[in-house]
Structure 1
Amino acid sequence: MAVADVPDGRTPLVLVAGWSGPVHRTALSLLGDGRVGTVVIHHDLGQLREGVVRRTVTTGSVEAPEVRTEILELAHGCVSCTLRHDLLPLLRRLHARSSVDRIVLELDHALEPEAVCWAIEHVPVVGVVGQLDGPAVRDVRVDAVVTCLDAGEWWLAATGDDDLDDDRTVAQVAVGQVAFADALVVDDDTGEPWLSHRLRAVLARLAPGAPISGTPDAAALLPLIPADARRGRIFGTHAPLLRGGPPLHAEHGVSLVEFTARRPFHPGRLHEAIDVLLDGVVTARGRMWLATRSDVALWLESAGGGLRVASADRWLAAMTEDELAAADDERRAMAALGWDERFGDRDTSLVVLVHDADPDAVTGALDWALLTERELADESAWSTWEDPFGEFHEDPCADPDPVGRIAGAGLGTEQRSADHRSAEHRNTNGETKR
């Protein structure tokens, strides 16, 4: 169901997220802004693997909060189940209460707000008494996403290569929480001026236009969010990568590198070159055209020392007439502006946010991975090349419906991905590369 199709007597929803920083205080600050009908919901996922989730509901005021805690036991200990069986139905039930004027979700530190917003819009909620079956977007609308971070802790998380136990990296979560934010609460009192300056330069490019506050007061921050802020919207593979007008100049060693190409990557050379996106890089993201996969656009997304490549959607040029008729009108119009007689809308468009890498080295490595003129002319040979991106696996808790992607929000609705790590991945000869 499209948001535009939903009547707007919905309950406003604010998401407060963060790998580090004052998430709890920021969420509770919304109890003190004069709206007596605010409810703060928190699901503690610390014991999720044991099938136990601690749900806290807080009402009242900052000075005198009323807290109710309930222990939930799930048949399957996963984020997907928590959302489907408790959080999403709870949002719909709270909307039906006349005493609730606003809902605040204080997200567990391991939750990515993009995944939660996607579930709110797309995952059907069934069996709620007195309500038609359908997604929670029928009853709630995302007014803002606020992300909190402690500068020192976030920097270590966002530039490291630590793994979580659900096929994600810590960097993926930390970076994704900031990139999806409409506003930021930042504690940057690190005692190291270089880090504070570099962090601010990264935030300006990762979440352009998001107001930043040094105090956990969401009530004062929300009115500063621009009218054109994201507010929970999920963008597709072919949406612009530089939304919000981020600064394009270098600052304190931080800069955005744009890479575009109208010829495909050679799979073997790209696999060799891909480490350039994992050293001195905060994040890289965008769509790719791989010669061995001319029917589908691939989505690449990296954070810190981890990188993921996944099938995204079909190129318009590879669609059947029925598929093309159902394609998004805006996408078709944009593709028509640059349509190639031979290859149609196929292209590569990547944006790389570097903090300690040479932009020319990044561009040079990616250029080297593209097909040469001779290779481009011999299209019949492309399908014979070894494809190291062909070994896919399913994410944990993968389901027939796309909510199984909750563990990896950056992948769109796909559940299959190929993972790479800067510390170790295999090249086309099967050897270990470091």
Structure 2
Amino acid sequence: MNHKVPVTVLSGYLGSGKTTLLNNLLRNEKGMRIAVIVNDMGEVNIDADLIANEGHLDKTDEQLVELSNGCICCTLREDLLIEVEKLVHKGGIDYIVIESTGISEPIPVAQTFSYIDEEMNIDLTKICRLDSMVTVVDAHRFLKDFQSGDTLLDRKQAIGEADEREIADLLIDQIEFCDILILNKIDLVTADELKKLEQVLRSLQPEALFIKTSHAEVNPNLILNTYRFDFEKVSDSAGWIKELTEGHHNHTPETEEYGISSFVYHRRLPFHPERFANWMNNMHSSIVRAKGIVWLANYNTVACLFSQAGPSVDINPVTFWVDAMSEAQKNEILSARPEVLSEWDPEYGDRHTKFVIIGIDLDEEMITKSLDDCLLKTDEIDADWNQFESPFTWRIRQPY
């Protein structure tokens, strides 16, 4: 198959306007035959004048709706891989649009189109081209939802009792992994509120194309057949990654006008685990997003990933420090990655703390001092770090 069917994935929290956008796309006047994959046909509410004469919409057991303009809409019944392969091999379509659920992260959906599934023996990379990852944001509700501290369970939107995700984490996932961001319902906010929100979102996602709209009325040409998607580029497009890797500082006149800024906190001493945990649990409300690597004294062999989005805060071990490994492992890694030596400390090796803080009206000096207060004091450096009080209960094995 020479022609690969392009695919656009729509993400966005419940109520952001994805379904309205879908209906607008289905009414396209370009003669494009679009296949839409949705999780719940009953929620799409396709306009009656679009449904073909032989088509019907049975909310209890609908699998496929044929539209008068050649488009089709189908319910996700099996694994997404199987569903997409069936649609492509059936033929008669020019494009596929996937509406991910309002509570799904976009990365697993994108990965579906990026590798061969050997278990199912399906290779979508040969028949499809992931064109764009679109996230729809509700301009009216975003900050309320982001700052709510609610979990999906709180709102009865969770997949099950074990789904403990917070709304803020979900919103961040959808914003940080996209190449087109649609800021919808702008008619419900003031011009000043919109400008401030746009700058907040740009600090979180500086690379995506921003489209501002009401009622999800978007020119299809802006989101279909864009050739924008690049997995590696989108994976590295989040604001916190840009600042850590490129020294990108979000201090433009526009962001300064609305008090939005960011900075990197970087130290070569470990945090006292109890003091840092207390700092995490009492983070200043001006901090919107923080993420990066943390060195905790009690856990001297592992680098920890610290991540905060609004009221949601988390920290977990992610990898061993190179200096904690056996000499053989260490030499092997340093041979393959000599750049690690560029910041090597004679005493502590590659151990360090380095994370980005993004926020509104940040007091950088105050926040930096509060973090410095969590570092080991002079009289603690020579103590047995394993004896410090710690609220973390990870069991860390040796790296060799």
Answer whether TM exceeds 0.5 for this pair.
yes
Q: Which residue of 2 aligns with 1:113?
A: 106
* 8 A Cα contact 2:6 2:225, kept in partner: no
Letter in 1 for 2:177: F
1:137-195: per-residue Cα shift (whole Å, max 9, x none)?
56544322111112121111112201112111111111221121211111323343442
Alpha carbons of structure 1 residues 12 and 349: separation in structure 2 relative to 1, 3 Å? farther
SS in 1 for 2:140: helix
Q: Following the alignment from structure 1 to structure 2, what is the Cα–Cα distance between the partners of residues 57 and 261?
A: 57
Q: Alpha-carbon deviation of 1:289?
A: 1.3
- Please tell me whether the aligned partners of residues 175 and 204 of structure 2 are also in contact (alpha carbons under 8 angstroms): yes
Aligned counterparts, 1:365-380, within 5 A? 365-376=370-381, 378=382
Q: Secondary structure at the match of 2:221?
A: helix
Q: Is the 8 A contact 1:40 1:58 kept in 2?
A: no
Ranges in structure 2 where 5+ consecutive residues have no aligned partner: 44-59, 154-162, 396-400
Deviations 1:357-407 (A, max 9, x none): 53333222212112233433x2x6112222212259xxxxxxxxxxxxxxx
Question: Whose radius of gyration is greater, 1 or 2?
Answer: 2
* Among candidates 345, 349, 353, match of residue 358 of structure 2: 353
Q: Tell me if 1:26 matches 2:31.
A: no
Residue 223 to residue 327, structure 1, CA distance change in 2 (3 Å) = farther
Residue by residue over 1:278-334, the C-alpha shift from the partner in whole angstroms, topping out at 9 and shown as x without a partner, is 62322211111111122221111111211111221222223346755886988x244
Instruction: Work out the CA distance in 1 between the residues paired with 2:250 and 2:2.
Output: 35
Contact 1:59/1:67 (CA < 8 Å) preserved in 2?
yes
Query: Which residue of the other structure, out of 169, 182, 185, is the alignment partner of 1:185?
Result: 182
Would you say the 8 A contact 1:204–1:246 is kept in 2?
A: no
- Does residue 365 of structure 2 align to residue 364 of structure 1? no
Instruction: Write the letter of the residue equivalent to 1:346.
Output: R
SS in 2 for 1:209: coil
Q: Distance in 2 between matches of 1:189 and 1:102?
A: 30
Query: TM (normalized to structure 1)?
Result: 0.70
Work out the CA distance in 1 between the residues paired with 2:362 and 2:385. Answer: 32
Deviation at 1:271, TM superposition (A): 0.9
User: CA, structure 1 residues 210+346, in 2 after alignment: closer, same or farther (shift >3 Å)?
Assistant: same
Partner of 1:288: 294
Contact preservation (8 Å) 2:199, 2:260 = yes
- The alpha-carbon distance between structure 1 residues 338 and 257, as it changes in their structure 2 partners (threshold 3 A), is same
Separation in structure 1 between the aligned mates of residue 79 and residue 92 of structure 2, nearest angstrom: 20
CA-CA distance at 1:114 after TM superposition: 2.4
Going from structure 1 to structure 2, the CA distance change for 1:248 and 1:190 (only over 3 Å counts) comes to same
Change (3 A) 1:101 1:65: closer
Q: How far apart, in 2, do the equivalents of 1:54 and 1:203 lie?
A: 39
| Cα distance in 1 for residues equivalent to 2:270 and 2:109 | 34
Task: Indicate if the aligned counterparts of 2:180 and 2:223 stay in contact, CA closer than 8 A.
Answer: yes
Instruction: Name the CA shift for 1:263/1:21 in 2 (closer, same or farther; >3 Å).
Output: same
- 2:51 equivalent in structure 1: none
Q: Which range is displaced more, 159-168 or 355-364?
A: 355-364
Q: How many pairs are equivalent?
A: 359
2:34 to 19, 34, 38: 38
TM-score (norm 2): 0.75
> Which AA in structure 2 matches 1:109?
G
2:250 is equivalent to residue 256 of structure 1: no
1:219 paired residue number: 220
Check whether the contact 1:284–1:303 (CA below 8 A) recurs between aligned residues.
yes
Instruction: Show the counterpart of 2:140.
Output: 152
What is the RMSD computed on CA atoms of the aligned residues? Answer: 3.9
Which of the residues 302, 308, 311 maps onto 2:308? 302
Give the secondary-structure state (helix, strand or coil) at the position aligned to 1:307.
strand
Cα shift at 1:17? 0.8
Change (3 A) 1:168 1:144: same
Q: Percent identity of the aligned residues?
A: 25
Give matches, 1:18-167, under 5 Å: 18-19=12-13, 20-31=15-26, 32=28, 34=30, 36-44=32-40, 65-69=71-75, 72=77, 86-118=79-111, 121=114, 124=117, 126-127=119-120, 133=121, 140-165=128-153, 166-167=163-164
Q: Which amino acid is 1:256 matched to?
A: S
